Structures are given as C-alpha cells and as structure tokens.
C-alpha cells in the first residue's frame, strides 16, 4: 500500500542533543513537508521541499534542518538550537500538477519529548 | 498572511444529530481546501479535498462546501455516530503549503 512512514513513533531527547526524525513516502509525490503540532495550536510549517536537493524554510524553521537527497525521503533534524522541541511532528507529501497541490497525505507522526 | 479560523473549538452532540463545522480564511485567493480528521495521538486522515474549480465535495455522510467570495467553508456531517468523535481540521492553500486552523473537537455520545 502507498503511504508515508514516519519513524520512530516516540523519541526522547536529552538537553543539547541533536535528533533526526525519519519520513519516507512511496507515493511518488514531488513535494514533502514537515509540520509541528502543539496542544491547542494548529499545525505550523517547519520546512518543505518541492524537488530533490532543494528545500525552503517555513514559518518556524529556526533550530531545525532538513535534507532531500532522494525523492522518497525527507528527514528532519531537531538541533540543540531548538529550545522547545517537545511536540508532535507530522510529515506530509503532495503531488504537484500545475496548480500547487493535489491534496496532502500525512504520516502517523513522531512524538518528541525532551528529558 | 493567510489565517484559518475554525468555529466552534469544541462541540458535543448526541448520536444521530446532523451538524456543521465552520472554517473561515482571510485570503480568498486559495487554490484548494482540505478537511482532515485527527484521532488523539494520531496523524491526519484526509476526508475531503475541494480543488480550486470546485464548490463542494461529498463522501458518504460528509459534505464539504467552499465559498471563495466569502472566505468560508463548511463540513456537514449527517447522522453523527460515536465513531465520528475526533478533531476536525480545515486547511487552505494560498501559496506553497497548507495553512491550518486549530480544529474543532467533536464528541458524539451514544
């Protein structure tokens, strides 16, 4: 079945540590996105990529980094510069067809907790 | 900057009721509008996508409409069931990525 796989489901980070969240899709979608979700808030865009080896900052990119070396993969690194990383992280993908998207597909999320 | 507002923030109804969830956005120049469902601790499941040339979409007991001129969308749920209990998110696209509202948390009691 086609879809988006995020791993791990739960992740614990110590202060000052970098951690990487995995996102893989087999939908052959061009674009991939990372969102952050906090209680009582909507999803906020961290980074997005429309093509391999290119990505753009979203609204809250500070303290995060990404790479897009393969069409299927878009890992997110939460660096020690992110002062409040505890949140639910969601990866999404979409097909680009002239008009920007043809609907988004989301993964099941990674819950990151600072310990 | 595009902002999306969802009203009400929470809603409790008895089983069998028909209900309407509302979504409004500040920038009427949106391409697509998508409604999602989110269960606690889970990812988002797409319910309905209204593309730029469309005004409404239907799937089973769900119907979503989009009025670009007023900057509003509604999600209509017919004959609600306890299994419909979840948070419903509205998202509009005016640029490269989707902009989300904070959601409406629905509770349907049996």
What tens-digit pLDDT sequence spans chain A (115 residues)?
A: 679 999 999 999 898 899 999 999 999 999 999 999 998 788 999 999 999 999 999 999 999 999 999 999 999 999 998 989 999 999 999 987 655 456 889 999 999 999 8
Alpha carbon of A75: minimum distance to chain B alpha carbons (Å): 17
Q: Which residues of B touch A6 (CB under 8 A)?
A: 43
Residue B97's pLDDT band (cuts 50, 70, 90) = confident
Q: Tokens 């500070």 sit at which residue?
A: A62
Interchain pair B93, A101: CB under 8 A = yes
Contacts of residues A58-64 at CB distance under 8 Å and 24 or more positions apart, as own/partner, are A58/A33, A58/A34, A58/B97, A60/A36, A64/A34
Q: Which residues of A touch B92 (CB under 8 A)?
A: none
3-state secondary structure of B82: helix
pLDDT tens-digit readout, B4-46: 999 999 999 999 999 999 999 987 777 789 999 999 999 999 9
Q: Tokens 């995995």 sit at which residue?
A: A22
CA distance linking residue B75 with residue B35, whole number of Å: 8
**Terminal-residue alpha carbon distance, chain A:** 35
Interchain pair A6, B98: CB under 8 A = no
**pLDDT above 70 for B106:** yes
Compute chain B's Rg from CA coordinates: 13
Segment B40-63 shows an average pLDDT of 92
CA distance linking residue A52 with residue B5, whole number of Å: 33
Phi and psi at A10, nearest 5°, equal: -125, 140
Cα dihedral A20→B101→B28→B77 (10° resolution):
120
Residues 6+ apart with CB under 8 A from B53: none
Interchain pair B45, A106: CB under 8 A = yes
Half-sphere exposure in the Cβ direction for A96 (13 Å, CA): 13
Structure-block tokens of residue A61: 């990119």
CA distance linking residue A112 with residue B11, whole number of Å: 29
Q: Which residues of A touch B46 (CB under 8 A)?
A: 103-106
**pLDDT above 90 for B89:** yes
Residues pairing with A104 in the sheet: A94
Mutate which of A29, A103, A105, A110 to test chain B, going by most B C-beta atoms within 10 A? A103
Interchain pair B31, A50: CB under 8 A = no
Closest by CA position to B47, among listed B38, A101, B66: B38
The average confidence (pLDDT) of chain B is: 92
pLDDT given at position A61: 97
């Amino acid at each position: 079945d086609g879809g988006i796989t995020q791993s791990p489901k739960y992740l614990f980070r110590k202060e000052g540590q970098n951690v990487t969240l995995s996102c893989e899709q087999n939908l052959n979608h061009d674009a991939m996105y990372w969102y952050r979700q906090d209680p009582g808030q909507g999803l906020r865009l961290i980074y997005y990529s429309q093509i391999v080896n290119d990505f753009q900052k979203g609204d809250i990119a500070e303290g995060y980094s990404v790479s897009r070396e393969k069409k299927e993969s878009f890992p997110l690194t939460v660096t020690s510069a992110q002062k409040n990383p505890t949140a639910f992280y969601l990866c999404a993908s979409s097909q680009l067809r002239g008009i920007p998207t043809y609907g988004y597909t989301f993964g099941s999320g990674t819950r990151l907790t600072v310990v | 900057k595009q902002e999306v507002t969802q009203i009400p923030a929470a809603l409790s109804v008895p089983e069998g009721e028909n209900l309407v969830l509302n979504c409004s956005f500040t920038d009427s120049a949106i391409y697509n509008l998508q409604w999602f469902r989110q269960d606690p601790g889970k990812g988002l499941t797409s319910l309905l996508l209204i593309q730029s040339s469309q005004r409404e979409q239907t799937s089973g007991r769900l119907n979503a409409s989009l009025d670009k001129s007023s900057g509003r969308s509604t999600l209509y749920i017919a004959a609600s069931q306890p299994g419909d209990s979840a948070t419903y998110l509205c998202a509009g696209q005016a640029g490269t990525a989707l902009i989300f509202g904070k959601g409406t948390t629905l509770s349907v009691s049996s």
